[in-house]
A and B are shown apart, each in its own frame.
Chain A
Amino acid sequence: MALLEVRDLKTHFHTDDGVVRAVDGVSFSVEKGKTLAIVGESGSGKSVTCLSVMGLNPKRGTDVSGEALFNGRDLLKLSGEELRNIRGAEMSMIFQDPMTSLNPVHTIGRQLREAVHVHEKVPKQQAQARALEMLKAVGIPRAETRTDDYPHQFSGGMRQRVMIAMALINNPDLLIADEPTTALDVTTQAQIISLMSRLQRDFGSAIILITHDLGVVAETADEVMVMYAGRAVEQAPYKGLFYQPHHPYTWGLMDSMPNLAGDETDLTPIPGTPPSLLRPPKGCKFNPRCRFVMDVCRETEPELKPVPGDANHLERCHLEEAVKQAEIERITTERLGAVS
C-alpha cells in the first residue's frame, strides 16, 4: 500500500468575488522511499495541494473534500490536535524561502531543539545532541560552533540546509519540499539536491517535490504530476513523462525551457498567462493557450485517461494519438538532444 494516497482532493476558497477552485479533483499516491514531483506554473494549485494534505490551509472560507490516506488514516478528517502530532514527526515540510521560514530572533540550535520537544519529552542535552547530529548530516561545517548562531549569520544555502535538518530531525516518513532550490544558485542547488537524495537513501523517506524546474525533476523524480489550473493534466513515471510527453501543456513547458543541450536560438513560450481560477475557461482549461486547440476543447473538458499502451501514464487531452506522436517525436529530439 502506498504511504500517501490522495483521492479526488478538492480545495475551494470562498472569496468575496466567488469560489476559487484552487485544487479541483486531484488524485495521486506516493510510495515509501520514492519521489513524486508536482510541476506547474504559479497558481496551478501545486502548493495548495500540499498545504491541504498537511492541513495548513486557513479554516475559514475553505472547503476541502476528498481523501488523503496517510499510514492508513484520512488526514482530511483528523482534528487539529491529531494533525499537530503528525506534522513535524511523521511528515514535514520544507518551504521555498529559507530567508523567511526561520525565526530570526531564536538561535538555530533552539529552533531545532524545539522541533524535537514538540513531539517528544526528552532532556535538553539529548535534543541538543540530535540537533547537532542533524546539522552534521546536512553538511554544516563546524556544526558545534554554529548551534548558537542566529539565522542571519547563515547564507541562503546554509539556511536551506538548516530547514532540511529541522524537517528531518524526527525522521519523517514523508517530506514535502515546496520549491526547495528555487531561491538558490546552481552550485548550491546541486548541493541541496544531492543532499536530499542521500538523506532519502539513508532515512528511507518519501518526498513530494514541488517545482517548476524540469531539470530538477529529470534528476530526482520517480513519478511526475503536471498541474494546470487546479487539475492534473498529465501523470506518469518520469521516463514516460520526459520521453513520451502527451499533454500540450507539458510540451509547452519543455519548449520554453532554455537548455544547455537544446538549440540556443529557439525558444517557444506558451502564449498568454494562466487563467483566473475564479472564472476558468469553458472546456479544457488550457484551451486559450493551446496551439492544437479544436472546437471540442472549448466545449467539453477531457477526462484524465491512460495513454494507449501505458496504464500508468495518465493525461487529459482530446487530441488524437497520431497527432501527438509527431509532436512527441519533435520535442524529444529538439529538447532532450540524443534519445535512446
Chain B
Amino acid sequence: MAAAIEIKDLSVVFRARRSSVAALQQLSLSVAEGTVFGFLGPNGAGKTTTMHVLLGFIEFTAGSASIFGVDVRESIARRRIGYLPEHPETYPFLTGRELLMMAGRLFGMKRGALRARVGELLREVDLEDSADRRIGTYSRGMMQRIGLAQALINDPDLVILDEPTGGLDPLGRMKVREIIAKLRAAGKTVFFSSHELSEVELVCDHLAIVSRGRVVAQGRATELVSQGESLEKYFLRVIQHEPAGRVG
C-alpha cells in the first residue's frame, strides 16, 4: 500500500535568543493510505509539532516529510488534506454555512458543487438547523462539528485531526467516531492525535506513540497491545520506560 504520510528522520529545533529546544528528534513515521492512524503521546511530546510540520506551518531543521509523495513545503501538498486543529476556534461573526462556503472557495470549488457539498456536510455533522446561525452562538460541541465539516469540505484523501474528541460529551464523541468510521469506509486516511486512549482503541488500525520528540512504538494496534492488556496500560508502560525530562 502506498504511503499517505512519509516522515524520515525529521528534526525540528526551536531557537530562542539564548536557548534552543529540540521539539522533534529524528522522528520517522509512515502512514499507509486508507488507514486510521492514532498518534499518541504525553503533553509536549511533539504531536502537534509533527502535524504542524505536515501542514507546512513549521519549517523543519533536518529530515524529510511528504504527503502522497509531495514535499510538505509545497502548498500543492495541502490540496488533498483536511485539518481540524485542537480546540478549533473560528470566525464568530460568520454563520456555519458561510464558513463552509468560504472554506470551499479557498479550494477553488465551483458554486453549484460547493452548495451541494455544504448541504451534505451540514447534514452529516447534524448542524442543518443551526447552519444560518452565527458561529459565536454555537456550543463547544457544535464548534467542533463545524470545524470537522470545514476540514472535510474538499473531500480530502487525508484527514488530520488534532484531539478531535477533546472536550466533547459522549454524544459528541460518538458522532466524531461515526464520521471517522465513514471516512475509513470511503477509503480515506485519517491521522489523528488523542489523549482519549479508549477512543483510539475503538477506531484505530495503526498507531504510533511519540515521546520526547521521537517515535517510541509504532505498528498495528492489535499487534502492539498484547492480549489481556489495555492500550492505556501499554501506553503507560512504553512512556515510563522513556528517560525522564521534556524535550518538545
* Pairing of A with B: no
Could you list which residues of chain B lie within 8 angstroms of chain A, going by C-beta atoms? Answer: none
Give me the interface of A with B, judged by CB distance under 8 Å.
none
